Structure 1
């Protein structure tokens, strides 16, 4: 009986071993390692050089153009071409000097155009005091002093508008007159008094009475005279500001 049990036990154990061997999963074969890829040859492709002006949006760059760039239409320059230069003078010759530009006074007034603004004074009696030293030589005299007895009539040197009646410390009673083109101003100073009826804004006629010779301001009492100045107005047309010019040749002085 014991032997039979041992036999059955061995038979059962063997059957289990056979069953295990038949149904157990088989391991999958390991995949073969893929061969390492060959190193890829990377070829650097150079972009074609782009010359200035080959594209409307390309900036102008300093590059060496290829041989075919001669047919490339260049971008129009934003800077205008310089004007053509005059041909150089042949060796041994000299170019004629450019004509001197006439001063503004000479262009607008021929000598003798203005009326001498003091009655009874002739051109040969005038003394050119323009540029003389004043104040101990600290400043230049920018006018013409026309000596005459006190009370001598002062006349408008030209047509034009009476721009300003003004009383100043150096000039005393003064008159500023603009010429019709408002290019020049005429300045009359040291007047003893104004002529009756004159007013700022009135239109003066050449030879019209505007005042009388005096010595108001910083003029000497024993040397009454008319201080007469002509100056070129600036673009602002300020009656107190301008560039003085010599009135002497404009009054017929030689």
Structure 2
């Protein structure tokens, strides 16, 4: 007697597990109010689609990891200033935090972080207006090569709305 197992039956389970992190996000800023969220994903900023959401907050406000995972890259760039690229536990999504005033003490590439851990602080580094500190937050679905700088943009707005509602 031969036992045959269809992988097709397991596919929905795998896909559900792979996308779990994005559905269980916590807000990147504690106490975030729904009224402070505005969907700017499709807006054009500096000649290109924004593909992110900007969350205004006072300079120095702690920024928290939205999911558990690994700090893949700490990067200083002209547009983003101090940035963090965080991969979720399964390497399906990359969470991008930009314009940070600084990183949490001891934060380093390759470090594991838990959902809710402080990873940085709101700022206005890079091309952000110095008078408007904010967190530029984006989500990218990673391709098979798992490159921190390359992925398909995912609108973070509906996931942040759900996270804020769950946090209340």
Q: In which range does the TM-score fall when normalised by the shorter chain?
A: 0.7 to 0.9
The corresponding residue for 1:213 is 122
User: Partners in 1 of 2:51 and 2:20 — Cα distance?
Assistant: 18
Comparing both chains, which one has the higher relative contact order based on Cα–Cα distances under 8 Å and sequence gaps of 6 or more? 2
Structure 1 residues 232 and 112 mapped into 2: Cα distance closer, same or farther (>3 Å)?
Answer: closer
Q: Rg larger in 1 or in 2?
A: 1
SS at match of 1:197: coil
1:103-126: CA deviation from partner (whole Å, max 9, x where unpaired): x89x82598621110122123421
Structure 1, unaligned runs of 5 or more: 1-103
Match of 1:127 in 2: 38
Alpha-carbon RMSD across the aligned residues, in angstroms, is 2.0
Residue 183 of structure 1, aligned match among 69, 82, 92 = 92
- Taking a change above 3 Å as real, the CA distance of residues 123 and 115 of structure 1, as seen in their structure-2 partners, is farther
CA deviation string 1:22-65 (max 9, x = no partner): xxxxxxxxxxxxxxxxxxxxxxxxxxxxxxxxxxxxxxxxxxxx
Please name the residue that 1:200 is paired with: 109
Task: Return the TM-score normalized by structure 1.
Answer: 0.55
| Other-structure match for 1:163 | 72
> Structure 2 unaligned runs (5+)?
1-14
CA contact (8 A) 2:21 2:88 kept: no
Q: Structure 1: which 4+ aligned runs deviate by more than 4 Å?
A: 109-112
Residues in 1 aligned to 2:69 and 2:19: alpha-carbon distance in whole angstroms: 14
2:157 aligned residue: 248
CA offset digits 1:216-251 (Å, max 9, x no partner): 000001111000000010111000000101001111
Question: Is residue 56–residue 134 contact of structure 2 (8 Å, CA) maintained in 1?
Answer: yes
